[in-house]
Chain A
C-alpha cells in the first residue's frame, strides 16, 4: 500500500514536470510553426461564427493520440445514450480531419466518488491529451471533476449541474465551458402546453424527479411559474417518483382513485410519463388525460404522434456532448484560449426542441430515425440565442 502510494506520488511528480516542460516547449513552437495560430487566440475573435480550420492544427497534434470521454450517470437512461452517441458523431468528425484518438465512456453508476475517480484515472492516463464531456452526478462535484482534469492539463466541459459559486474560470484554461438546457423554461413550456390542452382549467397531477436534484427543482419551478398564469388550474396531487417509470405508475394508479376527474399529468421527465400513461391505460383514460414529459424518449415521441402525450422537450443530448467536445478540442488544439473567452461563451444555455403534435413528424425524421446533422467545425452553434 505504502509502496503504491510512493509510486503514485513519484508518477504524479514526473507527470507534473513533464507537463510543465512540454507546456513550455510546445507553445512557442506552435506560434513559430503556424503563425496564423497566434491570430486566432487574439481577443477580437468572433466566437459566434468561430470555425475550426483543420489546416491550422499542427501535425504533431493530429498525430498525438487524443483521449475523448463522456462521463455519465449510467446507461439505463435513453437520454444518456444520446450523450454517448453525440460523442460517436464527434469522433467521426475527428476521423474526417485526421486526428488520432481513443474514445471512452466513463460510467459513474450514480456515484459521486466513482465519477471523480473515473475522471482522475482518465486524466492521468491521457497525460494532458484529453477532452471530456461530464454530466456531474451532483452539482457539488463539478469543480472536483474540473480539478481532476486540470491537474493533468486536459480540457473538460460540464453540463447540467454546477454550484452557483463555481465557474469554469476557477480552473483556467482546463474547465472550458459549462452548459445547461434551460430547465426552468422547459418545465414552463410543457406546463403551458398541458394547461392549454386542458382548456386552461381543471385538476393536474405533478410528478417530480429526484428530490434535491437540480434538474427536477428547476423544472418544477418552471411548472409553478406557468401555474401562476393559469388561475383555474388546481394541483390535486404532487409527489416524487425519483425519475422512475414504475414509481410514477404506482403514484398515478393510486391518485386516480380519489381524483378520477384529473385533466392532465405533468411529469418532470419522460421515463415517468411512460409510467403515467400506463396507469391511464389501465383505466382506459389514455388519450383522454393530457400528459407531458421532458427528454423526448422514443416511446414518448411516438405517444405524441399517437395523440396520447401533449408535449415533451428534447434537450438534444447529441448536441450537448458533441459540441462540448468540439469546443474542448479547439482548446486542446490551441485554436482558442478558454482564458480569453468572454463569460457568455464559458457558461451558456443549449437550445431545446419542444415536440408537440405540430412538429412531431419532422422531429422524428431528424432526431429519431437519424442522428441530427451537426457541423462540429462551427463549435459554438450549440449556443442558444
Chain B
C-alpha cells in the first residue's frame, strides 16, 4: 500500500516538474519577442545616438506603426484559425482609394465627409465576409480565395479613380494626418482602439475562444456543437474590418487615395505576426503578440532608414534581421515536423 503510494507520488512529481519546466520554457519564448524589441531599440540608440530615441522619432515610429498594426491584427485571427488571408494588398488599397473618392476630393463631386470613411471600411468588411463565405461554403482554400480577391479589390480601387489618384480636399479629414492627442498621432490612437477591440474579442467573448478551438483542432468544437463555418466567416469579416480601417487611415496619412497604399503590406504583416509568436499552424498566439511583432518590424525599418544603409544592401539586411528575429522567437521544440 505504502509502496504504491510512493510510486504514484513520484509519477505525480515527475509530471509536475515536467509541467514546470515546460511552463518555464513557454514563458521564455513568450517573452522572447519583447527582448528582441528591446535589443533592437538599444542597438539603434547606440548606433544612431539621440536622434533615434528622440521624441519626434518616437512619434514617427508610432505613425509608421499604425497601419502595419491594423493589418497584422486582422491577419492574426485568420492565422490563429490556421488559414491565411492574401487579400491584404488589394483590400487595403481598395478601402483607401474608395475613402478618397467618397470624401471631398480632386477627382469627383462626392462630399460624404466622415461617413465616406465609414462607407469605405464597410465595403472592406463586405469583402471580408464574401471571402469567408466562399472559403467555407465552396470549400476553396482561403489561400486561393483571398488571392483572387487581392486582384479583384485592386481592380475595384483602380476603377474608382481611373488612374489619376484623388487628393483628399476635405479639410477636416486631411487635418487628421497632422493631429495628435497626448503627443500620440490620432491615426495611432485609432489603431490602438481597434487593438483594444480585438483584445476584448479574443479574451472576453465566446467567439474569441472559438477561434483558438477551431485553430487547434476543428473536430473538437464541431463535436460540441459550435458552428465552425460561422466562426471562420466571422474571422474573415473581422479581418476585412481591420484591413478597411488600415486602408482608410493610409489614405488619410498620404492625403491621397491610391491602390498602392496596400502594396507590399502582406508579407511584412505575416512576418510580424509570426515574429510576435503566433503559430502559422493555428491555435496559438494572439493580438498582444502581434503588437510586439509589428513594433519590431516598424522599429527595424525606421532604424535602418535612419542609419542610411546603402539601399542596395538594405533589403538584404532587413531579411537577415527578420530571419534572426524569427529564429529567436518562434517556438520550435514542440513541432516534430516543419513543412
A residues contacting B by CB (< 8 A) are 75-78, 80-81, 208, 211, 237-240, 242, 244-246, 249-251, 253-258, 271, 274-275, 278, 281-282, 297-299
* A244-B263, A298-B106 as given contacts; A274 in contact with B254, CB under 8 Å: yes
Task: Check if B51 is an interface residue, CB within 8 A of chain A.
Answer: yes
User: A243's closest neighbor in chain B, by CB?
Assistant: B260
One digit per residue, 1 when the CB lies within 8 angstroms of any chain A CB and 0 when it does not, for chain B 156-189 equals 0010001111010000000001100000000000
Q: Is the CB of A282 within 8 A of B57?
A: no
Rounded to whole angstroms, the CA-CA distance of A137 and B259 in the bound complex is 19
Task: Check if B327 is an interface residue, CB within 8 A of chain A.
Answer: no
Can you list 21 pairs linking A and B with CB atoms under 8 Å apart?
A75-B163, A78-B163, A78-B165, A208-B311, A211-B312, A238-B308, A244-B263, A244-B264, A246-B261, A249-B253, A254-B57, A255-B305, A256-B60, A257-B52, A257-B54, A274-B165, A274-B254, A278-B254, A282-B63, A299-B167, A299-B256
Task: Check if B255 is an interface residue, CB within 8 A of chain A.
Answer: yes
Residues of B within 8 A of A80 (CB): 163
Known contacts A238-B308, A239-B314, A246-B253; 8 additional CB pairs below 8 A are A254-B57, A254-B60, A254-B305, A256-B60, A274-B256, A281-B178, A282-B63, A299-B167
User: B159's closest neighbor in chain A, by CB?
Assistant: A75
User: A84's closest neighbor in chain B, by CB?
Assistant: B163
Residues of A within 8 A of B60 (CB): 253-254, 256-257
Rounded to whole angstroms, the CA-CA distance of A274 and B57 in the bound complex is 21
Rounded to whole angstroms, the CA-CA distance of A249 and B48 in the bound complex is 21
Q: Which residues of B (237-255) have their CB < 8 Å from a CB of A?
A: 250, 253-255
User: A247's closest neighbor in chain B, by CB?
Assistant: B264
Q: Which of B165, B167, B177 has the most CB of A within 10 A?
A: B165
Q: Is the CB of B311 within 8 A of A251?
A: no
Rounded to whole angstroms, the CA-CA distance of A250 and B263 in the bound complex is 14
Number of interface residues of B (CB under 8 A): 37
Contact of A239 (CB < 8 Å), options: B177, B260, B308:
B308
User: B302's closest neighbor in chain A, by CB?
Assistant: A254
**What is the distance, in angstroms, from B245's C-beta to the closest C-beta of chain A?**
16
Q: Is the CB of A281 within 8 A of B255?
A: yes
Residues of B within 8 A of A240 (CB): 311
Task: Check if B301 is an interface residue, CB within 8 A of chain A.
Answer: yes
Q: Which of A75, A76, A282, A297 has the most CB of B within 10 A?
A: A76
Task: Check if B56 is an interface residue, CB within 8 A of chain A.
Answer: yes
B residues contacting A by CB (< 8 A) are 48, 51-52, 54, 56-57, 60, 63-64, 106, 158, 162-165, 167, 177-178, 250, 253-256, 258-261, 263-264, 301-302, 305-306, 308, 311-312, 314
Rounded to whole angstroms, the CA-CA distance of A254 and B60 in the bound complex is 6
Rounded to whole angstroms, the CA-CA distance of A275 and B56 in the bound complex is 18
User: A299's closest neighbor in chain B, by CB?
Assistant: B167
**What is the distance, in angstroms, from B300's C-beta to the closest C-beta of chain A?**
12
**What is the distance, in angstroms, from A272's C-beta to the closest C-beta of chain B?**
11
Q: Is the CB of A244 within 8 A of B106?
A: no
* A251-B305, A255-B305, A258-B48 as given contacts; A278 in contact with B177, CB under 8 Å: yes
Residues of A within 8 A of B256 (CB): 245, 274, 278, 299
Rounded to whole angstroms, the CA-CA distance of A281 and B164 in the bound complex is 22
Q: Is the CB of A257 within 8 A of B306?
A: yes
Contact of A81 (CB < 8 Å), options: B51, B162, B263, B305:
B162
Contact of B255 (CB < 8 Å), options: A244, A278, A297:
A278
**What is the distance, in angstroms, from A107's C-beta to the closest C-beta of chain B?**
10
Rounded to whole angstroms, the CA-CA distance of A258 and B44 in the bound complex is 13
Contact of B306 (CB < 8 Å), options: A81, A258, A298:
A258
Q: Is the CB of B306 within 8 A of A254?
A: yes
Residues of B within 8 A of A281 (CB): 177-178, 255
Contact of A278 (CB < 8 Å), options: B51, B56, B253, B264:
B253
Residues of B within 8 A of A271 (CB): 260
User: B305's closest neighbor in chain A, by CB?
Assistant: A254
**What is the distance, in angstroms, from B295's C-beta to the closest C-beta of chain A?**
15
Residues of B within 8 A of A278 (CB): 177, 253-256
Residues of A within 8 A of B264 (CB): 242, 244
* A76-B158, A253-B64, A255-B306 as given contacts; A282 in contact with B178, CB under 8 Å: yes
Residues of A within 8 A of B165 (CB): 78, 245, 274, 297, 299
Rounded to whole angstroms, the CA-CA distance of A257 and B55 in the bound complex is 9
Rounded to whole angstroms, the CA-CA distance of A254 and B255 in the bound complex is 18
* A246-B253, A257-B60 as given contacts; A76 in contact with B163, CB under 8 Å: yes
A-B CB proximity, top 10 nearest:
A258-B51, A81-B163, A257-B57, A240-B311, A78-B164, A254-B305, A75-B163, A253-B60, A257-B56, A239-B311
User: A107's closest neighbor in chain B, by CB?
Assistant: B158
**What is the distance, in angstroms, from B251's C-beta to the closest C-beta of chain A?**
10
Rounded to whole angstroms, the CA-CA distance of A77 and B177 in the bound complex is 23
Residues of B within 8 A of A253 (CB): 60, 63-64
**What is the distance, in angstroms, from A13's C-beta to the closest C-beta of chain B?**
36
Rounded to whole angstroms, the CA-CA distance of A297 and B167 in the bound complex is 12
